[in-house]
Structure 1
Amino acid sequence: MVTLSYAGAQSSALTVADNLFAEGKYSQAIDAYKTFDGDKTVDYNIAKAYVALGNYDKALEHYKKAVENEPENALYKYDYAKRLMNSKKYEEASELFSELINTDYRNPNYHYQKGLVLEKLNDSTAQNRFYSAYELDPTHQKAIYKLARFHLVKRNHEASHRYIDKGLESYPNNLELISLKAQNFYHQQYYTNAIPWFERLIENGERSEMIHELLSVCYSENSDYEPAIEQRKLALAYNPRNSASLYVIGSWYQRLGDFANAEKYMSQAIALQDVPLNEEYRNLGTVYNRQKKYKEAIKAFQTALKEDPSDVFTELFLLRTKDEYYEDIDTKISLYEAFIKKHNEHRLSDFAKYRLTELKEEKFNKKD
């Protein structure tokens, strides 16, 4: 009777400890569990409580004891291995997962977890474990993602699509696989095919600078500049000082004929950059010209030439702008003569020579 009474008290006290754990009173639960002696579940429960508290060293200590007390308990060994991996003790975790695989080879998650550890160890055989997990369970979403991503990185697009499609059969709303699908089409330059997959991500609440940026490129490749601009602006919201995005938006406005906005975004982009910007300033000058802002265009072309004095194209753009802006015909003639003298052997001099002839004829006709 005494033994039965003691066993009942122990059982009741264990229930109290379990209840404390369930209520989130982890420190109290640990103290309660530690009052037991000889119960093989205690160290495992204490380990879980320490994990909940974020004390992973103590958790590992008690997981190890739990496994030593019950070396055949696969659950204890599995949780211990995962905690070792999370604590970056990859070699030890790898050994435990190997033991689990040897015990139950047909458990797909053992293979998957072993693959994760091998990845951390930069072991290329990780993909073999992911493939084993997939073979054992063709609906294993995490293993499918690893395989699909591996083939995407290797640019084996057909294989990547095959795994993605298989995964989406069992889980059509797997956003990770949808993202890989969009990226596959993007890198294949199948921009029209990529668009609905990127849009699907956004519809499901997945928004990031990369998603909006890649979708903007897809639209632009189809010459759909208005949605391209909209998406690039959404990308810009994550990094407002991204000069590349600002400049791209400006260039798309230029193609739409909206030169005021083209000027606005190109100017902002240039102001943020500290690299040679001759091409950017040249394009800005062109935008000014389209708005007949010749004075501003001249300044932009002059700045472009300071960035790259050897840029003959910009010199000609500057010359043509001065041709439009200046009224004095003799000044125009002297500018063209100077350009031809400097670049007589350059193919652009033919245009300058033709325009010089026109100006001289115009001057002659005015005399008459």
Structure 2
Amino acid sequence: MRTLNFLIILFFGYYTVLNAQDNYPIIDEYIAGYQFDKALVAIDNEEQTKELQQKKAICYKGLDNYSKAIEVLFSLAQEYPDDLKIKSEMALCYQALSNWNASLKCYDELIKLDSINVYYKIKRADMLFRLDNYKAALADYKTLSDGYKLNNMIKRSAQCFENMNLPDSAMVYYSKALEADTMDVFSIASLININIKLKNFGAAIKLSDSFVKKDSTNKQINLLNGLSYYGADFYEDAVPRFERCYLNGDSSLVVNRSLGISYYSLGENEKALPYLIKAYAQDSTNVRVLYCLAVMSNEIREYTNAVNYFGILLDRTIPADMYLYLYFRGLAKAHEGLEEYKGAVENYAEATKYGTKNQNMYLYFSLATTYDYELRQADKALEYYLKYQASLGGYLEELRKQEDQDDAHKLEMLSVESSIKTLNSQIGRLEKELAKATSDVK
């Protein structure tokens, strides 16, 4: 009987092992067929092994569930700390979640385990770049380009310099990248773009024309070619280049706006109008587009449109006085922050020349309190408290005249009335101080 039991146990044990072996190919088939959900079910029905856990992580990755994949891989990494494949997969999952710090940590650990692996070093540099640590990334890219003759790292170095706001160095490295690969579109586009930003339009024209002669199908370079001429005010040359972009399917805001303004600048209003209308529909905030539309509407006697466009322009245009008010007020606040109160009151007073009625009301308060508490000039403090009092009174009258008075409106009136009462006591105090000072002199 014991022999029979042993044989039964042996049979079922053998069947279980055989069944597991049969399921592994099925799991692999599911994974190969991107049926990751089915693969996960099959994996969970098996006795868990390192291999199956790795397959599980692959399935979670395939389903874009990177957090679950990391959970599985992290557990495996604890058990197998020297497994390069597990740590590499973890690094990629962290990248997919934009967790650059965690990914960087993985690559640091991988480099400790395999110090000669160039891939890990490239990815480490990329993570430093993602973290905006451009100096450290630059050092790694330089080591990779110099030590391993990886020319594509030169381009990465250029990107570091560009992001560090060092355009001259960036251009040097983009030029080196182009020497290594004359058809490197990214480097040529970046080089042209930097020249446009720096208003080096001649260099931008030369670079973009040269590339277009080799390949006239690249949309990005075609656009930059047009922008190079446009930036230099060479509108006759810019128009056919932007038209080529448009005919090749680029109906972006930049193309519509640039074509419209180029035609307008050449006096070809009929050709300009449709592009400007499209540009305005894509971005209604551009002042230059609005102005061109407004002027052309007058010229073609579409006065209703002209009124609309000019009205919008006036609403959006900040008067020159507003700039002066903001500048003087800002300067006054800076002096105040430095406890340079004389400079503060001088600039607050200057700001009152350009502020609106309500803006000046707050300036009067700042002037009064600064003279009162910081400079201890009671006469000047009283002068500005009285101006503040008059402004508050006028503001209160405006509030009372408004017809629609909701709860917020009523609270504002109560607040102003309370401020006036407090202000009256301040004025009374100063008047007494000045009266006493006058009697003491006598």
TM range (shorter): 0.5 to 0.7
Structure 1 distance, partners of 2:290, 2:208, is 34
Query: 1:312-334: per-residue Cα shift (whole Å, max 9, x none)?
Result: xxxxxxxxxxxxxxxxxxxxxxx
Number of the residue aligned with 1:159: 203
| 1:112 paired to 2:152 | no
**Alpha carbons of structure 1 residues 189 and 16: separation in structure 2 relative to 1, 3 Å:** same
2:61 is matched with: 21
Q: Which stretch shows the higher mean deviation, 226-235 or 19-28? A: 19-28
- In the other structure, the counterpart of 2:176 is 132
| Residue 180 in structure 1 maps to residue 220 in structure 2 | no
1:120 deviation in Å? 2.2
Q: Is the 8 A contact 2:208 2:224 kept in 1?
A: yes
The equivalent of 2:300 in structure 1 is 256
Q: Report 1:21-40 matches (<5 A).
A: 21-30=61-70, 31-32=72-73, 33-34=76-77, 35-40=79-84
| Count of residues in correspondence between the two structures | 267
Could you tell me which of 79, 83, 103 is aligned with 1:59?
103
- 1:186-234 CA-partner distances (Å, limit 9, x unpaired): 1232212211322333445544544333221211122211221222222
Distance 1:198 1:67, change over 3 A: same
Q: What secondary structure does 1:223 align onto?
A: coil
Kindly indicate whether the alpha-carbon contact (under 8 Å) linking 2:264 and 2:292 is maintained by their aligned counterparts in 1.
Answer: no
**How far apart are residue 68 of structure 1 and its match?**
1.8
Letter of the 1:29 counterpart: A
For the 8 Å contact 2:205–2:229, the answer to whether it is kept is: no
Q: Which residue of 2 aligns with 1:194?
A: 238
Deviations 1:56-102 (A, max 9, x none): 22111111111222221111111111111111122221111111012
- CA pair 36-173 structure 1, distance change in 2 beyond 3 A: farther
Select between 131-140 and 38-47 the one with higher mean Cα deviation: 38-47
Normalised by the length of structure 1, the TM-score is: 0.63
Higher relative contact order (CA closer than 8 Å, sequence separation 6+): 1
Measured at CA, do residues 242 and 94 of structure 1 come closer, stay the same or move farther in structure 2, by a change above 3 Å? closer
Counterpart position of 1:334: none
The answer to whether the 8 Å contact 1:243/1:270 transfers is no
Aligned to 1:275: 319
Q: Distance in 1 between matches of 2:290 and 2:170?
A: 41
SS in 1 for 2:84: coil
Distance 1:104 1:168, change over 3 A: farther
Identify which range, 124-133 or 34-43, moves more after superposition: 34-43
| Partner Cα distance (2:308, 2:60) in 1 | 63
Q: Match of 1:220, SS?
A: helix
- Confirm or deny: 8 A CA contact 1:118 1:126 kept in the other structure: yes
Structure 1 unmatched ranges of 5 or more:
1-8, 277-368
Q: Cα offset for 1:19?
A: 4.5
Q: Mean alpha-carbon deviation: is it higher for 61-70 or for 115-124?
A: 115-124
* Change in CA separation of 1:42 and 1:225 when aligned onto 2, cut-off 3 Å: same
Deviates more, 1:69-78 or 1:229-238: 229-238
Identify the range of structure 1 (58-67 vs 212-221) with the bigger mean alpha-carbon deviation. 212-221
- Which amino acid in 1 is paired with 2:92? K
The one of 96, 103, 107 aligned to 2:147? 103
| Aligned CA-pair RMSD | 2.8
Alpha-carbon deviation of 1:174? 2.7
* CA-CA distance at 1:182 after TM superposition: 0.8
Alignment of structure 1 residues 212-291 onto 2, 5 Å: 212-240=256-284, 244-259=288-303, 261-270=305-314, 272-273=316-317, 275=319
Match of 1:82 among 123, 126, 148: 126
